[in-house]
Amino acid sequence: VLMGYGYDPKLMNVFFRPFDRYMTARLKTAVPVMYLCATGGVSDTGGIESNFRGLDTFYELSVSDTVRNGDPFLKLVIEPNNLVAEDVFRVFVNEEEISMEQKNDSNEMEISTEQKNDSEIFGSASSALLENINQISSSTSLDDPTSPQSKARKWLLEQDPFRGSLSTSRSMNRYTIAVIYLSLRLPNIAAHLVGQEDECSWTGVTCDAAGDVIKIDLQNSRLTGEIPSEIQYFAPTLEHVDFSENDIVGLIPDGLYSLRKLINLYLHNTTLTGTLSPKVSNWAELNNLYLGNNELVGEVPKEITMLRKLRFLILHANKFNGNIPSSFNEMKSLFYLDLSYNDLTGVLPESLSGCTKLRHAYLDHNKLSGPIPSSYGRLGGDWIIDLTMDSNQLTGGLPSKWGDKKKLLTLKVQNNNLRWEIPKDICKQWVLDGNGELVELGADCNICRCDFCRGRCYS
């Protein structure tokens, strides 16, 4: 359905650019094929103010209607500067339908249509939208008809039931979410995209009162693709991302590091590869970072200690190597630290003792060496709960101050090269003695003389 040149060609051409062909529409529901509305004019008027009337003169097509080429659909009356021009929109049905369907036993969205120039297909009304898409997606991806970006653009501009009736920002939200769905291979993609006007009600998407996307939660959704860099479009508002418990592959994209408002990032239990970028410093608002049980490599970037608001830092079960960053004393909010099951080397950083709010610290199953710093007696203040350093190459003994940790539940230091006997004050924290809350002490038999070590120590 497309407007023609009008009964007064000179006047109508002021308002609407000439088109060489019709835009096709698929007519199969009992709703109007196209809605038109304007308040203070249209964007292609060259600055001439205009008002629309006559928009109530349209025909709804019922399921039983016989639609024929040339049938009148909408009569539009335009009154610019006290002049009147009328145009009648007529139905034009192309034999070639644009279809979006889910392949059998596949999560790919198939879109087939004749290759045409964007301006021929979409017209000037979508020029701003196309420009925005080109800013966040590479030309290489958009030119590849098999890419998630190309498929999302085609869906948005050719098949979205609400195309043309939404603002550019709303349309960009829909494009970006569609790219995320397609790139991550969300099962049954077509069902998630078709028929819902409000993208804030799409699967896993939450918006604030202004309609801005603030949360994307696709945890345990059988995702098997990659995280697209287009997620950066939500940088001004996105606070929560959860793609955990999926079979996601590939790298952490640069676009994810652009999310400066991010508070929660859950990417654990996937199969992400590559390194963790120094760009983590962009996540200044981050409270929770869960990257455990992936295949990440390289050093833990020192910039991670710049995250002053971080409470949970979970990097366990990856392949991180090198030294633990040395500036943990800057992380005043750190509550939970898990660096276990990696290939970390070097000594324990003194700075970790400055994390006075730390309650849970898991450093086990690495290749850490050297003595346990005496300053670790201050670790977590008097409130440390879980402390595991087992299965490393640590030497010396345990800080005597650990005997003052009345809230300590778990202490594991077995399978190291420790030689000094465990302080008796630590033994006194055994919960059954009524002096503390210690319920698990893991230690080698040669250094543990506590009564409760008998039968429980490691030889």
* Residue 327, SS3 per DSSP: coil
Confidence (pLDDT) at 142: 96
More confident of the two residues 37 and 342: 342
Locate the DSSP E strands across 119-262.
205-207, 213-217, 240-242
The long-range contacts involving 343-349, CB below 8 angstroms and separated by at least 24 positions, are 343/319, 343/367, 344/300, 344/320, 344/368, 345/321, 345/369, 346/322, 346/370, 347/323, 347/371, 348/324, 348/372, 348/373, 348/376, 348/389, 348/394, 349/323, 349/324, 349/325
More confident of the two residues 149 and 165: 149
More confident of the two residues 221 and 55: 221
Confidence (pLDDT) at 196: 64
pLDDT band at 349 (very low <50, low <70, confident <90, very high): very high
Confidence (pLDDT) at 451: 81
* Residue 151, SS3 per DSSP: helix
Q: Is pLDDT above 70 for 398?
A: yes
Confidence (pLDDT) at 430: 87
Give ∠ CA 180-116-6 in degrees, rounded to 5.
Answer: 110
Strands 109-112 and 99-102: antiparallel
* Residue 241 β-bridge partners: 216, 265
Give the count of alpha carbons within 13 A of 27, CB side only: 25
Confidence (pLDDT) at 191: 76
> How confident is the model over 346-362, as a mean pLDDT?
95
pLDDT band at 103 (very low <50, low <70, confident <90, very high): very low
Residue with tokens 């090198």: 322
Q: Is pLDDT above 60 for 102?
A: no
Q: Is pLDDT above 50 for 176?
A: yes
Task: Compute the Cα dihedral for 193, 195, 198, 203 and give only its sign.
Answer: negative
Contact by Cβ (8 Å): 39, 71 = no
Nearest of 121, 25, 39, 18 to residue 73 by alpha carbon: 25
% of the chain at pLDDT higher than 90: 57
DSSP 343: E
DSSP codes joined into one string, 372-425: PPGGGGGTTTT---EEE--SSEEEE---GGGGG-TT--EEE--SSEE-SPPPHH
Contact by Cβ (8 Å): 186, 223 = yes
Report the C-alpha gap between 92 and 266 in whole angstroms.
49
Give the chain's mean pLDDT: 78
Strands 72-79 and 393-396: unpaired
Confidence (pLDDT) at 194: 63
Q: Which residues contact 276 (CB under 8 A, 6 or more apart)?
A: 252, 291, 296, 298, 300, 301, 304, 315, 320
Buried b (16+ CB within 10 A) or exposed e, 366-381: bebeebbbeebbbbbe
Confidence (pLDDT) at 195: 58
Report the C-alpha gap between 214 and 293 in whole angstroms.
26
Structure tokens at 290: 């869960």
Q: Is pLDDT above 90 for 306?
A: yes
Distances (CA, A) of 112 to 71, 99, 186, 189: 27, 6, 20, 16
Nearest of 63, 50, 80, 67 to residue 1 by alpha carbon: 67
Burial of 127 (0-12, 13-18, 19+ CB in 10 A): middle
Maximum distance among all Cα pairs of the chain, rounded to whole angstroms: 102
Confidence (pLDDT) at 64: 38
Report the C-alpha gap between 380 and 361 in whole angstroms.
9
Read off φ and ψ for residue 181, nearest 5 degrees.
Answer: -55, -50
Confidence (pLDDT) at 10: 36
Confidence (pLDDT) at 359: 96
pLDDT in tens, 108-126: 444 333 444 544 444 444 6
> How confident is the model over 387-392, as a mean pLDDT?
97
